[in-house]
Amino acid sequence: MKIVLASDHGGFQLKEAVKTALADKGHEVVDLGTDSEAPVDYPVFGKLAGDYVASGRAERGIVFCGTGIGIGIAANKVHGVRCAMVTGDEYAKLASGHNHANMIALGGRFVSAGDALRFIDIWLGTPWEGGRHDRRAEELDEM
Ligand code: RB5
C-alpha cells in the first residue's frame, strides 16, 4: 500500500521508526518531512500530507507531532481527509471500521514505536464497515 508520512519535530523520531518498519513490511512509503528535530510548524506538514491523500497520490497517510493533536487538526482541514488521532488499539480499529479514516495522527511524545506499529497494523487491517456509517462518512466528505 502507498502510505504518506509527515511530522513536525515532536513527531520526527516516531515517524522515522514507523517509516523503516512500514518499508520493511513492503509498503511504498513517501516521507514529506520534516527531516530533523529542528522546530517547524505542524500545520505545514499536516496540510502537505492531507493534500497528498486527498489528491489520491497515496491511499493512506500518517501524521505525527508531539501529541498527535495539532497535526491531525491540520490534516483534517483538507477536504476529503478523515484523520483520526489514535491512542489505543480500539481507537485504531474504530477509526477504520466506523470513521473510514484515510489518515491517522500519532503523538511522538506519548506513543511508543511498538504501540504505534500495532495501531497502524490494526487500522490498516480493519475493513470499513459501511452500512449505517456510510451516510456519516459522506456527510464528513461534504463539509
Ligand atoms: C510542538 O512543540 C508541539 O506543540 C507539537 O508537536 C504538537 O504536539 C502540537 O499539537
Can you give the residue ranges of every domain in the chain? 2-142
Instruction: Give the Å distance between the CA of 7 and the centre of ligand 1.
Output: 10
Which pLDDT belongs to residue 81?
97
Least confident range of 1-10, 29-38, 92-101, 126-135:
126-135
pLDDT tens-digit readout, 11-23: 999 999 999 999 9
Residue nearest atom 7 in ligand 1 by C-alpha distance: 66
C-alpha cell at 100: 473510514
Distance (Å) of CA 142 to CA 3, 15, 77, 135, 139: 24, 30, 13, 10, 5
Instruction: Give the Å distance between the CA of 82 and the centre of ligand 1.
Output: 20
Q: What confidence tier does 61 reach under pLDDT thresholds 50, 70, 90?
A: very high
Among candidate residues 91, 105, 117, the one with its CA nearest the CA of residue 49: 105
Average pLDDT of the chain, as a whole number: 97
> Percent of the chain scored above 70 by pLDDT?
100
What is the C-alpha separation between 83 and 103, in angstroms, rounded?
4
Residues with active-site annotation: 65, 98
pLDDT tens-digit readout, 106-122: 999 999 999 999 999 99
Q: What is the mean pLDDT of residues 65-88?
A: 98
Which pLDDT belongs to residue 133?
87
Q: What is the mean pLDDT of residues 46-63?
A: 98
Q: What confidence tier does 104 reach under pLDDT thresholds 50, 70, 90?
A: very high
Fold of the 2-142 domain? Ribose 5-phosphate Isomerase B; Chain: A, (3.40.1400)
What is the three-state SS of 22-44? Answer: HHHCCCEEEECCCCCCCCCCHHH
Amino acid at 71: I
Ligand 1 pocket, Cβ-based, cut-off 6 angstroms: 8, 10, 42, 65-67, 69-70
